[in-house]
Amino acid sequence: MLELQQVSKTIGDKQIVHDVSFSLDKGKSIGLIGPNGAGKSTLVKLISALEKPSSGCIHFFGEDVQKWSVKKLAQHIAVLSQDGLAPYPITVYDAVLMGRYPHLGFFQREGKKDHELVEDVLETTGLSEFRDQMLDTLSGGERQRVAIAKAMVQHPQLLILDEPTTFLDIGHQRQILNLVQSWQKREGLTVLMVLHDLNLAAQFCDELVLMNQGEIVNIGTSEQIIARETLQSVYQTDPEIIRHPKSNIPQILL
């Protein structure tokens, strides 16, 4: 459903993303990994049309996303960013309801269906008890959960996660990723995530794309990517690889 063809991005005379091509099938999850400055975040901005590629094209169901309106884009793609939602004093309910925005006309108000959907999502994300609380009184982890609820209400086909767990403790990290995973299973959602934590990436993604200096170094399953030689050349460090005792997925130790 999502296809990148030879996408490059140059800012000034610096090439941030160079000749990136990969495709993502419906219902799959792909993890973008790589060291700082590898161009992951820029790539995400290109896919969500926050920025335009210098060359190459990004197709979504065969259509060029750069030609889409912001609204149409939001009907299909939701993004969960590192900073999440600003601590702005409006209620959780109102913030989640905003996810319906791309599906409403300019003069249209939210209808009964929209409100029902919000109720459902508050239930699934365990936010019902927070519904009347102001966003600025919530912790970072709770706010990130509100951001997920808002994205769910948006009903996208593709969910992009741009390091959504960076500022969270391990408990909240798991919680957020579990929410995403069960959502994916329930509705056949396609997920593209940028993760710094290689262990989480290995556990939660079907496929990993390893980037370095703006280029794709390797694409494969966690078995193929989470390997000593592969990581060593990119990260300039020598990690130990072990197996997760329950899932048998390769994990790294520093």
Partner 1 sequence: MNKTSHVLWVWIPVFIVMLLAVMSLSVTLGAANISWQLVWQIIFSKIPGVSSWIDVSWESNIETIVWDLRLPRVILGAMVGAALALAGALYQGVLRNPLADPFILGVSSGASFGAALVIVLGVNVWWLGSFTLPAVAFLFGFLSLLIVYYLSRVNQKVRLETIILAGVVVQSFVGACLSLVLALSNEKLQTIVFWMMGSLALTEWDYNQMIFPIMIVISIVSLFFIKELNMLGLGEEAAHHSGVSVQRTRFILLVLASIITGAAVSVSGAIGFVGLVVPHIIRLLFGADYRVILPLSIIGGAIFLVGADAFARTIMAPRELPLGVITAFLGAPFFGYLLRRAKRGFF
Interaction site with partner 1 (CB under 8 A):
48, 50, 69-71, 73-75, 77-79, 81, 83-86, 88-91, 93-95, 98-99, 101-102, 106-107, 132, 134-137, 147, 150, 154
State in angstroms the smallest separation of the CB of 250 from partner 1. 33
DSSP 3-state of 95: helix
State in angstroms the smallest separation of the CB of 113 from partner 1. 17
Of 138 and 252, the one with the shorter C-beta distance to partner 1 is 138
Dihedral pair phi/psi, residue 86, rounded to 5° = -65, 145
Of 61 and 170, the one with the shorter C-beta distance to partner 1 is 61
> Contact, 69 vs 51, CB < 8 A?
no
Nearest alpha carbon to residue 226 among 205, 52, 116: 205
Of 95 and 231, the one with the shorter C-beta distance to partner 1 is 95
**DSSP H or E run through 19:** strand 14-24
- Torsion angle of C-alpha atoms 106, 109, 115, 116, degrees rounded to 10: -80
State in angstroms the smallest separation of the CB of 196 from partner 1. 19
State in angstroms the smallest separation of the CB of 69 from partner 1. 7
State in angstroms the smallest separation of the CB of 48 from partner 1. 6
| Residue 59 identity (one-letter amino acid) | H
Nearest alpha carbon to residue 210 among 10, 35, 29, 18: 35
What is the rounded CA–CA span in Å between residue 63 and residue 61?
Answer: 6
Of 4 and 85, the one with the shorter C-beta distance to partner 1 is 85
Of 147 and 202, the one with the shorter C-beta distance to partner 1 is 147
